[in-house]
Amino acid sequence: MKPRERILAAVNRRIPDRVPLDFGGTMGTTITATAYERLRAYLGMPPDPSPAVCSRRGSTVFPDNEILKRFRVDARPLLPGMPEGQPFIDLPATAFLDEWGVTWSRDSGECYMPGHGPLECLDDPSLRDIEGIRWPDPGDPGRYRGLRERAATLHGETDFAVVLDFWVGPVHLAQFIRGFTQWLEDLLIRPAFAAALMDRILEVWLGVAERCLREAGDSVDVVVFYDDIGTQKGPLISPELYRRLVKPRHRRMAETIKRHGKPLLYHSCGSVYAFIPDLIDVGIDALNPIQVSARGMDTRKLKQEFGRDIAFWGGIDSQVVLSRGTPGQVREEVKHRIDDLGGNGGYVLCAVHNIQPEVPPENIVAMYEAALEYGS
């Protein structure tokens, strides 16, 4: 099978010739800059050329083709461009302001954290406050300049699966704009405001998605978006609250993608077991990252209960095994997840979320070598 065929077989829950592999095919399955530098040094590769930046917030980069070919990775990312009308603004003390009016900063480590959103300080927010802030322009030409050409080159000149990568959705963006605590309170005591805020975010998101798919849809194989609804110990919100306020927005996102005939990969960290029937109902084709260290995310149980209706993308434990284990333990982890998730297809293998700086490079190599050996 060609890489594209392999990924599409897995996403459509068919049996490929081997378990397909991802590394940098999405913004949630790549690697931090520090871990990447260590990996290149371990492989005896020069530090140059500098890798392509994936996310400033997460200090992540995309691996170069030499590494991707070495590990026989099957997917490649396609990202919209940066807006020209509302570019990121650098602020003092290692901080920046994004196009949503959210301030990001870091004190130590590599990741930036949201520090202040434009609606965060309001004690009694109103619908007027939502329209009073400057919203991103979905028609900004910077997002689409060269997108069609880049997509056509990836799809026409390679055999890799092209993954169109969208932003986070209304859950995350509402949290950033309103503040995490305030947004959770809004859901319960100001549901009309919470719904209006998510709808305003959704208006921008859908505008960008429609334009991107019109520009590049013929050259796109899979679409991904992100919206965390799980924590380490359980759901972020109750399933009932999800169904009432969030699920209708996720459904609109999925319907937009499906109108263009594309399978949809959805990313949510944490314990999302309780939401999987709803995600299937919404139209999600594949779930990422399968955070196996979170409560209720037993891979054998997930496959048995939901494997006929949804594919799994991720699953290799990065919280403990990749970061603290030995190469031998990593190989056993790979075998375990392939045994649980790979039967009858429906599994794309990669780390649970982006590979962090503390992950030894020998464990990254062990993960992909074991996947190629055992996944065949």
Does the pLDDT at position 64 exceed 90? yes
Does the pLDDT at position 92 exceed 90? no
Does the pLDDT at position 47 exceed 90? no
pLDDT band at 86 (very low <50, low <70, confident <90, very high): confident
- What is the reported pLDDT for 297? 98
Phi, psi of 212 (to 5 degrees): -60, -40
Does the pLDDT at position 93 exceed 80? no
The rounded radius of gyration (Å) of the Cα atoms in the chain is: 20
- What is the reported pLDDT for 215? 96
Taking residues 43-64, what's their average pLDDT?
90
Taking residues 45-57, what's their average pLDDT?
87
- What is the reported pLDDT for 259? 96
pTM: 0.96
- What is the reported pLDDT for 188? 97
pLDDT band at 167 (very low <50, low <70, confident <90, very high): confident
Question: 135: which DSSP letter?
Answer: P
- What is the reported pLDDT for 108? 76
Does the pLDDT at position 73 exceed 80? yes
Question: 134: which DSSP letter?
Answer: P
Q: Percentage of the chain with pLDDT > 70? A: 100
Dihedral angle computed from the Cα positions of residues 245, 167, 120 and 84, in that order, rounded to the nearest 10 degrees: -140
Name which of 17-26, 114-123, 239-248 the model is least confident about. Answer: 114-123
- What is the reported pLDDT for 373? 97
Quick: pLDDT tens for 286-302: 999 999 999 999 999 99
* Short-list 174, 191, 202, 283, CA closest to 241: 191
Helix (H, G, I), strand (E, B) or coil at 351: strand
Taking residues 71-90, what's their average pLDDT?
94
Taking residues 17-43, what's their average pLDDT?
97
Does the pLDDT at position 151 exceed 90? yes
DSSP 51-120: PEEEETTTTEEEPPHHHHHHTT--EEEE-----SSS--EEETTTEEE-TTS-EEE-SSSS--EEEE-TTT
pLDDT band at 115 (very low <50, low <70, confident <90, very high): confident
Quick: pLDDT tens for 200-218: 999 999 999 999 999 999 9
Quick: pLDDT tens for 231-290: 999 999 999 999 999 999 999 999 999 999 999 999 999 999 999 999 999 999 999 999
pLDDT band at 41 (very low <50, low <70, confident <90, very high): very high
Sheet strand arrangement including 264-267: 75-78, 161-168, 222-226, 264-267, 286-288, 311-316, 347-351
Q: Percentage of the chain with pLDDT > 90? A: 92
Answer whether 348's CB lies under 8 Å from 313's CB. yes
- What is the reported pLDDT for 327? 98
Chain mean pLDDT for the chain: 96
Answer whether 5's CB lies under 8 Å from 244's CB. no
Domains of the chain: 3-84+121-374 (3.20.20.210)
Taking residues 95-109, what's their average pLDDT?
91
Does the pLDDT at position 330 exceed 80? yes
Of residues 93 and 200, more confidence is placed in 200
